[in-house]
Amino acid sequence: MQAEIIAVGTEILMGQITNTNGAYMAKQLAALGIASYHQQVVGDNAQRLADAISLAEKRSDIVILIGGLGPTPDDLTKQTLAAHLNLPLVEDADAMAKLAARVKQQQRPMTPNNKLQAMYPQGADILVNRVGLAVGAWVEQHQHAYVLLPGPPKEFIPMVDHELLPRLAKYSGHHEAFVSRVMRFFGVGESQLVTDLGDLIAKQTNPTLATYIKDHEVTIRVTASGETQADAEAKLEPVIGAIMEREGRYFYGYGDDNSLAKELVKALVATDKQITAAESLTAGAFQAALGDVPGVSDYFKGGFVTYALATKAAFLNIDARELAAHGVVSEFTAKAMAEHARQRAAADIAVSFTGVAGPDTLEGQPAGTVWIGLARMGQAPVAQVYHFPGGRNDVRKRAVMTGMMIALKSLRD
Amino acid sequence: MQAEIIAVGTEILMGQITNTNGAYMAKQLAALGIASYHQQVVGDNAQRLADAISLAEKRSDIVILIGGLGPTPDDLTKQTLAAHLNLPLVEDADAMAKLAARVKQQQRPMTPNNKLQAMYPQGADILVNRVGLAVGAWVEQHQHAYVLLPGPPKEFIPMVDHELLPRLAKYSGHHEAFVSRVMRFFGVGESQLVTDLGDLIAKQTNPTLATYIKDHEVTIRVTASGETQADAEAKLEPVIGAIMEREGRYFYGYGDDNSLAKELVKALVATDKQITAAESLTAGAFQAALGDVPGVSDYFKGGFVTYALATKAAFLNIDARELAAHGVVSEFTAKAMAEHARQRAAADIAVSFTGVAGPDTLEGQPAGTVWIGLARMGQAPVAQVYHFPGGRNDVRKRAVMTGMMIALKSLRD
């Protein structure tokens, strides 16, 4: 059983985007034990795309097409595959309803190009798009399987995980049932994780382990197959246990549609606690990340961006002379920011960030030096210093995520 | 003149590494105006690699092989290409001396695999490796050019930049000089831009126009070639003028490495003005984006995240009853937030955001309804309502970018 990935998009050929989807898909194929000896990239051109499909089906059993399902005239992957397989395109009622609602919300007319997003080659299995409007498809014909997947990674990854992988496992497979769990870690590098778990990864066959790094966090997808769901689940558990035993202190949650911010909001809901923040170098990024989570408004009423010393004093009622005496990059300032913000916002818990994003040094401290404070009602505030690697925005991003991890652990304690 | 990139490496097929070299090479080809309609990825397998070369030379003039030049037994790109072209491999004296010195330093024996790194197909131009040991090569045969490049990006990029690009420009070229400019737009969709500029795009040959959409903004890369730099520049100008005439109101700046936040900070510097913000639904994202720009701290001292009605009143000293009477999603609230934030932060200009991020409605207003306020010292505050499409975080992101565009235009006025 061989699979071949065809990434479709002139943007890839022009180098405007990197083919990260190809890498993600390839990793999943490898984890499932499906061989892949070729990949192709073609532009948004029907003839060249049809040629690429013809070439792929000569040498591979599964042809995976990524990209070109959108509403613009240069999105033609779906039409091209359907024509190649001599199948008409038909409408999916659910996807069409979702599309119609979106079009109505935007007060735009429904164009034929737009409608194509809700269509699929007749006889295909729909691959549901949980994030966007374009449906994917799984088509079997003449001993081959053909797959249509959307290009935007935020649509592509959930569709692969939830819709495609079970079908691939079954199609390639020995086993009927297939379970997979994503474990999320922050504060540990991928290479360290791979080293720590080297023996588990080396002997992987069932379950398989696939690590993935993005935006400073690492995920491990653990995938098991078996005769039944329960059988597969049973194979999963001991491996997850072994991973937790070694890496539990970096683990923060399960699931591919998860984030530190989501887990933090879940913990706020569970403990019924209000959060606030006072941000210097992160300039609002911690609070903005909280705001990403729907429903946060019951647990987060507002906070402060205190970029300069003067605003730290003025917005938070901290003594300006004391601030000046201790400096911006100090334990005192981190603690004072957290505790004063907590009181000003009448919150249960507050996180503060103060330090050196870079590129320049500040108060003689190198870029990457960050104090993160934590204030909790009825407890003395605490603060800890970090030395984050990377450029200005890596430092700021890591600071935000570390602050979330600190708040999360404190709420879970 | 067409070029085709073949990335060689089982690690790419397994998803262990992402094909960033392919994207880098593709971008350079596009900038040189060399068409590229196909890319391939093959593993470290001589037969499949030879097949990939055969396929590429049928449809492309330039075949660029990346990876597989190293000293391990699975590195076989150089041997495979040499065999395909029926050329013997010969030693490069300089590279061999460098290799011998390295081997001696490491006190290892010189193996035949090792020696291969310093060899090249007879008659080829050596592409010097400034970083590593494996030489690249440029081979011309039967109206085709074949290129061998190393896989590690730190070796690959300098070889492309210093050794390959001048040869590519000469080989492809009628022209010696290339200039390219990226124009950035916000507030207009890619499809509308493509429609508006349809005639310019249709007749493009020199300059060429390439549109690209990412993160809610659209860029157009205009690339011209000529006998001299000045000649190419002269071709660029009228096309840029024509684009500006039609789309100037959405244009905000030039350059690959630019953003609304960077242009806004530039405008703050140029006018020596202080900015602040009061953010409700955006929850700090506007301020965090300002914080992304190094050097902003002289023009942004801090601001407010006022997510709840109570914090809008408390942090900004706005009358709570008036707020309640007008509601969160209102012109009054947007104006009051902006003006009070400006005064509290002693800033020259303030932007405010209040509205419905979604997914639920608020005060009977649909998700996507956002009021953005602008306060300027010595002027009455103003506010405008928007109806942004998309999900919660699209709405928030568009709100932030619209606020930046508003502030930018006001500073440029």
- Cβ–Cβ < 8 Å for B25, B150: no
Least confident of A14-18, A124-128, A311-315, B183-187: A14-18
Reduce the secondary structure of A56-84 to three states and give it as a string: HHHHCCEEEEECCCCCCCCCCHHHHHHHH
Q: Which of A33-37, A72-76, B213-217, B238-242 has the highest mean pLDDT?
A: B238-242
Sequence letter at residue A155? E
Does A396 lie at the interface with B, CB-CB under 8 angstroms? yes
Sequence letter at residue A326? H
Does B357 lie at the interface with A, CB-CB under 8 angstroms? yes
- Mean of per-residue pLDDT scores for chain A: 91
ipTM, interface predicted TM-score of the complex: 0.75
**Chain A nearest-CA residue for B36:** A13
Contact A23 B23 (CB under 8 A): no
Pair of tokens at residue A268: 């706020």
Does B286 lie at the interface with A, CB-CB under 8 angstroms? yes
- Cβ–Cβ < 8 Å for A69, A105: no
Q: Is the pLDDT reported for residue B106 higher than 60?
A: yes
Give how far Cα A81 sits from Cα of A72, A331, B149, Å: 17, 61, 34
Least confident of A27-36, A126-135, A249-258: A27-36
Does A55 lie at the interface with B, CB-CB under 8 angstroms? yes
Contact A42 B41 (CB under 8 A): no
Dihedral pair phi/psi, residue B68, rounded to 5°? 85, 25
Assign A175 a pLDDT band (cuts: 50, 70, 90): low
Q: Is the pLDDT reported for residue A112 higher than 80?
A: no
Assign A122 a pLDDT band (cuts: 50, 70, 90): very high
Residue B175: per-residue pLDDT: 60
Which of B13, B192, B220 should one mutate to test binding to chain A, selecting the residue with the greatest count of A CBs within 10 A? B13
Report the largest interatomic distance among the alpha carbons of chain B, rounded to a whole angstrom: 87
Contact B311 A297 (CB under 8 A): no
Sequence letter at residue A107? Q
Does A26 lie at the interface with B, CB-CB under 8 angstroms? yes
Residue A133 DSSP SS3: coil
Least confident of A31-35, B190-194, B239-243, B399-403: B190-194
Residue A412: per-residue pLDDT: 92
Which of A6, A12, A14, A400 should one mutate to test binding to chain B, selecting the residue with the greatest count of B CBs within 10 A? A14
Q: Is the pLDDT reported for residue B174 higher than 60?
A: no
Q: Concatenated DSSP letters for B370-398?
A: EEEEEEETTS--EEEEEE--SSHHHHHHH
Pair of tokens at residue A379: 């407890």
Q: Which of these, B338, B343, B346, lies nearest to B381 by C-alpha position?
A: B338
Does A114 lie at the interface with B, CB-CB under 8 angstroms? no
Residue A105: per-residue pLDDT: 74
Q: What is the pLDDT of residues B354-369, one digit of tens each?
A: 999 988 899 999 999 9
Pick the more confident residue, A134 or B102.
A134
Q: Concatenated DSSP letters for A270-334?
A: HHT--EEEEESTTTTHHHHHHHTSTTGGGTB-EEEEE-SHHHHHHHHT--HHHHHHH-SSSHHHH
- Cβ–Cβ < 8 Å for B50, A39: no
CB pairs A-B closer than 8 Å: 226
Among A16, A287, A311, the residue with its CB nearest the CB of B284 is: A287
Contacts of residue B360 in chain A, CB cutoff 8 Å? 294
Assign A176 a pLDDT band (cuts: 50, 70, 90): low
Least confident of A94-103, A241-250, A381-390, B121-130: A94-103
User: What is the sign of the dihedral through the CA atoms of B269, B275, B281 and B284?
Assistant: positive
Residue B221 DSSP SS3: strand
- The C-alpha of A141 sits at a distance from chain B's nearest C-alpha, in angstroms, of 25
Alpha helices in A319-391 (DSSP H): 320-326, 331-344
Q: Is the pLDDT reported for residue A203 higher than 90?
A: no
Residue A109: per-residue pLDDT: 72
Does A17 lie at the interface with B, CB-CB under 8 angstroms? yes
Give the integer Cα–Cα distance in Å for A385 and A368: 10
Assign A33 a pLDDT band (cuts: 50, 70, 90): confident
Pair of tokens at residue B63: 């075949």
Residue A257: per-residue pLDDT: 81
Pair of tokens at residue A203: 């002997």
Which of B19, B182, B184, B299 should one mutate to test binding to chain A, selecting the residue with the greatest count of A CBs within 10 A? B19
Sequence letter at residue A221? R
Q: Which residues contact A384 (CB under 8 A, 6 or more apart)?
A: A371, A372, A406
Residue A389 is classified by DSSP as -
- The C-alpha of A303 sits at a distance from chain B's nearest C-alpha, in angstroms, of 5
Contact A301 B310 (CB under 8 A): yes
Does A27 lie at the interface with B, CB-CB under 8 angstroms? yes
Give the integer Cα–Cα distance in Å for A77 and A88: 14
Q: Which residues contact B6 (CB under 8 A, 6 or more apart)?
A: B39, B40, B41, B42, B49, B52, B53, B56, B63, B64, B65, B66
Q: What is the pLDDT of residues A346-402, one digit of tens each?
A: 999 999 999 999 888 999 999 999 999 999 999 999 999 999 987 898 899 999 999
Q: Is the pLDDT reported for residue B166 higher than 90?
A: no
Region B166-175: mean pLDDT is: 80
Among B12, B39, B305, the residue with its CB nearest the CB of A287 is: B305
Does A330 lie at the interface with B, CB-CB under 8 angstroms? no
Contacts of residue A17 in chain B, CB cutoff 8 Å? 23, 214
- Mean of per-residue pLDDT scores for chain B: 91
Assign B307 a pLDDT band (cuts: 50, 70, 90): very high
Contacts of residue A12 in chain B, CB cutoff 8 Å? 22-23, 26, 39
**Chain A nearest-CA residue for B215:** A152
Q: Is the pLDDT reported for residue A207 higher than 90?
A: no
Give the integer Cα–Cα distance in Å for A274 and B23: 45
The rounded percent of chain B whose pLDDT value lies above 90 is: 68
Q: Is the pLDDT reported for residue B72 higher than 80?
A: no
Give how far Cα A212 sits from Cα of A220, A252, A394, B150, Å: 6, 15, 18, 25
Region A310-328: mean pLDDT is: 95
B208-214, strands of its sheet edge to edge: B208-214, B217-226, B177-186, B251-254
User: What is the sign of the dihedral through the CA atoms of A115, A117, A118 and A119?
Assistant: positive
Among B301, B308, B314, the residue with its CB nearest the CB of A307 is: B301
Q: Is the pLDDT reported for residue B260 higher than 90?
A: yes
Report the largest interatomic distance among the alpha carbons of chain A, rounded to a whole angstrom: 79
Q: Is the pLDDT reported for residue B334 higher than 80?
A: yes
Residue A223 is classified by DSSP as E
Q: Which of residues 287-306 of B touch A (CB under 8 A)?
A: 287-288, 290-292, 294, 296-297, 300-306
**Chain B nearest-CA residue for A358:** B294
Region B364-377: mean pLDDT is: 96
Tell me the HSE value of A177 on the side-chain side, using a 13 A CA sphere: 12
Burial of A37 (0-12, 13-18, 19+ CB in 10 A): middle
Contact A15 B27 (CB under 8 A): yes
- Cβ–Cβ < 8 Å for B207, B222: yes
Assign A223 a pLDDT band (cuts: 50, 70, 90): confident
The rounded percent of chain A whose pLDDT value lies above 90 is: 69
Region A69-81: mean pLDDT is: 89
Q: Which of residues 182-221 of A touch B (CB under 8 A)?
A: 210
